[in-house]
Amino acid sequence: MALSDEFLMELRSRCDIEDTISSYVNLKRAGRISKGLCPFHNEKTPSFTVYPDTQSYYCFGCGSGGDVITFVKNIENLDYIDAVRFLADRAGMDMPNENTYDSAVNKRRLRMLEANREAARFFHNCLKTKDGEEGYRYFKNRGLTDETIRKFGLGFAPDFFNALSNHLMNLGYTKDELVFANLARRSQRNPNNIYDNFHNRIMFPIIDIRGNVIAFGGRVMDDSKPKYLNTSDTMVYKKSEGVFALNLAKKSGKDSLILCEGYMDVIALHQAGFTNAVAGLGTALTGEQARLLSRYASEILISYDADEAGQKAAARALTIFKNTPAKIKILRLSGGKDPDEILKNYGPEKMRGIIEGAANEIEFSLLRERAKYDITTDDGKRQYLRSAVGVLSNVGAIELDIYASRLSDELSVSKEVIINEAKKSAKKNLASRRKKEFTEIQRQPDLLDKLNPDRKNFYKAAKAEEMLIALVMANPEFIKFVTGKISYTDFVTDFNGRIFRAVTDRISAGKSAEISFLRGELNDDEISAVAKIQTVSHTLKNTEEECADCIKVIINEKNKKDLRNVSVEDISDEDFLKFFKN
């Protein structure tokens, strides 16, 4: 689908990059830019930078960069058109020619969703038949009402290998469609034959926030393995992005979500009146799931099992949620290993008390450390205090004061000593972390070196080319000054020459040359490279004199017969401009 400049311009004006990214990343203003922890790689020191002036972003840690469309494309795992559609929906805009957009891929997606919906009906209806009475009995024994069973669309896959397949093929679905949807599998002996992916399991339909059935989870009713069998990734479902019951929880009217480990915990909580409960899909929480949850609630209450595995998973989830704006608390489960068991043993009031007494991240970490030691002994007290100081080295001044007071009372240790030790630890950790992250960044190949193989051999020229591109992109009016003085054919490196040509051709034609409008000329990596090149303009004065300096260096380097390699050194852009004067 071709997108006009006019449409992209309006989309960009309605979807400010800083506003859009701040719904996924905690951004802090630093002058004209904003910085935060990169959502595309793990880091503790912010290297992800947003440039409102150019409506672009770039991460100096992993090299990801681009415009608001690129960001949504990467963060939501969408293709380009779907990312545009995502933003258009958000901005209340209609996609151009949407009524005529009818690709084979879109048709296949719709058929898959329809097949899943029919499968959900089939599984649910089976509960009231002789073939499904065992599944219905299982749900009732777990304390579920008929209303809850209907609300979640629960079902049963009968103990036959082709019950669902035959049903769906009678409705007109082909074998290929059932295999693509992972509702059926092909026989290894005879690929022309298929058999149901799910049989003799209670079934949990996975429904997205739009109400589409996108996948299924199937659970055995005994101790056989595997306990759970889930739909594999398809064109409508990605396990790393899915959240169970979010379609229901988002209607709860609450600004918090209770994140559980399993389907039954969620269902039991909903039945007990806690209708903001959800669960991740798969064995561990992912960054995609955390970002999705943080868009629907400002507070996430993590309710993982009380055993060691559950507490480790909770600690890991805390780390993942650091890259989101959500406030996190941990439920300290007691009276049962999980919410389902607690509700059965003690009822909703017990669970309500647990929710009200949820621990924040600091309290949770301190409690985990405290459980490791016997603080009735001097040695245990000393070890716990050392661990607690490590926890407090990562908190703000107010939190440090509060929890140092609590530790002082608990352990009979001076509050001032605790604060001083925490500050020392924080300083040491910061230096160590920065050194480690700097080393990791240095080990990664520079994106511009990767895409522009001539750059290392002609570094002085390449640097001048990049500065000139950045200057012209930031100041389109400079095209009059540049025209006639230099052409893309004068560039020493072919890659930069191609970028310069794409930029100047658009500006000369009276069109915008910002990143959003270069998509037709460049691929994803090249868009990231241009985003990095653009960052240079923020270190310059943005004058025609700087353009002249760049042009002089490029022409001189081009005309030199004995072009020599220049080693890549850590030269600042300001110092580099002085070098041009030589």
Q: 369 to each of 95, 302, 354, 381, 525, how far by Cα in Å?
A: 53, 18, 20, 11, 44
HSE-CB at 354 with a 13 A cutoff on CA atoms is: 26
**pLDDT score recorded for residue 78:** 85
List helix spans (H) across 484-566: 494-508, 524-535, 544-559
pLDDT at 59 over 90: yes
Distance CA 276, CA 69 (A): 31
Q: What is the average pLDDT across 532-549?
A: 91
From the centroid of its chain, how far is CA 456?
33
**Which of the listed residues 357, 390, 419 is the one where a domain comes to its end?**
357
**Which of the listed residues 44, 69, 97 is the one where a domain comes to its end?**
97
Q: Establish if 436 belongs to a structural domain.
A: no
CATH number at residue 507: 1.10.860.10
Distance CA 275, CA 101 (A): 38
Q: What is the DSSP letter of 261?
A: S
Beta strand pairing status for 155-157 and 201-207?
antiparallel
Q: What is the DSSP letter of 492?
A: S
| Same domain (yes/no): 107, 220 | yes
Q: Establish if 331 belongs to a structural domain.
A: yes
| Same domain (yes/no): 198, 308 | no
Q: Establish if 437 belongs to a structural domain.
A: no
CATH number at residue 281: 3.40.1360.10
What range does the domain containing 371 cover? 364-431
| Same domain (yes/no): 161, 121 | yes
Q: pLDDT tens digits for 255-268? A: 999 999 999 999 99
Sign for the CA dihedral angle at 461, 464, 468, 470 comes to positive
**pLDDT score recorded for residue 99:** 47
CATH number at residue 40: 3.90.580.10
From the centroid of its chain, how far is CA 461?
37
Q: pLDDT over 70 for what percent of the chain?
A: 91
Distance CA 516, CA 532 (A): 14
Contact 415, 403 (CB under 8 A): no
Spatial CA neighbour of 438 closest among 430, 427, 448: 430
Q: What is the DSSP string of 195-218?
A: EES--SEEEEEEE-TTS-EEEEEE
Q: Establish if 441 belongs to a structural domain.
A: no
Q: What is the average pLDDT across 218-244?
A: 90
| Same domain (yes/no): 407, 509 | no
| Same domain (yes/no): 183, 161 | yes
CA angle centred on 219, ends 218 and 221, rounded to 5°: 140
| Same domain (yes/no): 470, 536 | yes
Q: 335 to each of 5, 277, 365, how far by Cα in Å?
A: 61, 19, 21
pLDDT at 2 over 70: no
Q: Which of 67-76, 190-199, 535-544 has the lowest mean pLDDT?
A: 535-544
From the centroid of its chain, how far is CA 74?
8
Contact 324, 298 (CB under 8 A): no
Q: Which of 85-89, 171-175, 346-350 has the lowest mean pLDDT?
A: 85-89
pLDDT at 561 over 50: no
Q: Establish if 396 belongs to a structural domain.
A: yes
| Same domain (yes/no): 427, 340 | no
**pLDDT score recorded for residue 191:** 85
Give residue 188's pLDDT band: very low, low, confident or very high (50, 70, 90): confident
| Same domain (yes/no): 418, 524 | no
Q: Which one-letter amino acid corresponds to residue 430?
A: L
Q: Establish if 399 belongs to a structural domain.
A: yes
| Same domain (yes/no): 84, 63 | yes
Query: What phi-psi label fits residue 526: left (phi over 0), alpha (psi between -120 and 50 degrees) or beta?
Result: alpha
**pLDDT score recorded for residue 563:** 47
Tally of domains in the chain: 5
| Same domain (yes/no): 80, 180 | no
Q: pLDDT tens digits for 21-56? A: 988 888 998 888 999 999 888 787 889 999 998 999
| Same domain (yes/no): 227, 116 | yes
Q: pLDDT tens digits for 360-376? A: 888 888 888 888 888 88
Q: Establish if 438 belongs to a structural domain.
A: no
Q: pLDDT tens digits for 301-329? A: 999 988 888 888 998 999 888 878 889 99
| Same domain (yes/no): 282, 352 | yes
**Prediction pTM value:** 0.66
Q: pLDDT tens digits for 112-165? A: 999 999 999 999 999 999 999 999 999 999 999 999 999 999 999 999 999 999
Q: Which of 205-214, 505-514, 516-525 has the lowest mean pLDDT?
A: 516-525
Q: Establish if 280 belongs to a structural domain.
A: yes
Task: Give me the residues paired with residue 194 across strands.
Answer: 186
Q: pLDDT over 90 for what percent of the chain?
A: 57
Per the document, the length of the chain is 582
**Which of the listed residues 357, 381, 397 is the one where a domain comes to its end?**
357
- Interacting residues of 432 by C-beta distance below 8 A, sequence separation 6+: none
Q: Which one-letter amino acid corresponds to residue 62?
A: C
- Interacting residues of 582 by C-beta distance below 8 A, sequence separation 6+: none
CATH number at residue 150: 3.90.980.10
First to last CA, the chain: 50
